[in-house]
Amino acid sequence: MTELVRYVVEGPLATITLDSQHNRNALSRRLVTELVAALEAANADPDVRVVALTAAGPTFCSGADLSEATGEGMEEGARRIVALQRLLLTMSKPVVTRVHGAVRAGGIGIVASSDVVVAADDATFALTEVKLGLAAAIISLTVHARMTPRSAALTTLGGAVFTGEQAAAYGLVTRAVPAVGLTPTVTEICLELASGSPQGLRESKAILNRDLVERIDARGDEMAALSARLFASEEAREAMTAFLNRKK
């Protein structure tokens, strides 16, 4: 069976690539399981100092796998995505995420949980949950903490598309650069971070992310339950079914 997440180590850098292009790198049960395994492998490798997270194909991540959500519900999936965000924040190695193309809904939770994010200035972001009778519940734990309150309200309530350049202004990503400079910028940042000592990186990251981890621990179960309830509602199921039918 073809892997949905590729894992490669070169020197101090572990590169993790989402490669589930048939569903636009949606956060299916299998992709999340493989992503967690890759992150845990990087965290356990004493030679790895930095993790680079990227994606294959034209889409970085389309969010939750709506086919699974409409068929199986979202209770377990919501908890898995909460746990994924927590892992990204608590692992001892800094995570540098490279964003190109489109990133939607739950995929933005991965972005917000990363330590450093470089996006193409023409990448597109959207918190589309509100359009489907849902709410950005589980990813609010990280996304809303990264963004300014006004930008979080605008993007969450409106669900409109915004660019990588806007995402940087909103505080969601670290830096937006022209697409041609995306890979060189990520490489430069990874090399710079890799010059830090393992202990220094580990302890510095723990300090930086302490408040976000406490937020997840305090409200993760509540947000997962809310997400599952909304996904199971008649309004959301009708909207998701209509959306999936339009894509066929």
Task: Tell me what pLDDT residue 67 has.
Answer: 87
Check pLDDT > 90 for residue 37: yes
225 occurs within a structural domain: no
pLDDT tens digits, one per residue of 109-168: 999 999 999 999 999 999 999 999 999 999 999 999 999 999 999 999 999 999 999 999
50 close to 15: Cβ distance less than 8 angstroms: no
Cα 61 to Cα 68: distance, rounded to the nearest angstrom: 16
Percent of the chain with pLDDT over 70: 99
pLDDT tens digits, one per residue of 95-105: 999 999 999 99
13 is in which domain, residue-wise?
A: 5-182+190-194
177 occurs within a structural domain: yes
63 occurs within a structural domain: yes
CATH code, 69: 3.90.226.10
Check pLDDT > 90 for residue 247: no
238 occurs within a structural domain: no
Total number of domains constituting the chain: 1
Cα 206 to Cα 218: distance, rounded to the nearest angstrom: 17
222 occurs within a structural domain: no
Check pLDDT > 90 for residue 244: no
Task: Tell me what pLDDT residue 248 has.
Answer: 65
Q: pTM to 2 decimals?
A: 0.96
Q: Report how far apart the first and last C-alpha atoms of the chain are (Å, whole number).
A: 24
Check pLDDT > 90 for residue 25: yes
Cα 93 to Cα 91: distance, rounded to the nearest angstrom: 6
217 occurs within a structural domain: no
How confident is the prediction for the chain on average, in pLDDT?
96
Task: Tell me what pLDDT residue 246 has.
Answer: 84
- Closest of 18, 17, 92 to residue 50, by C-alpha: 92
21 occurs within a structural domain: yes
Span of 6-15, 39-48, 239-248 with lowest mean pLDDT: 239-248
17 close to 56: Cβ distance less than 8 angstroms: yes
218 occurs within a structural domain: no
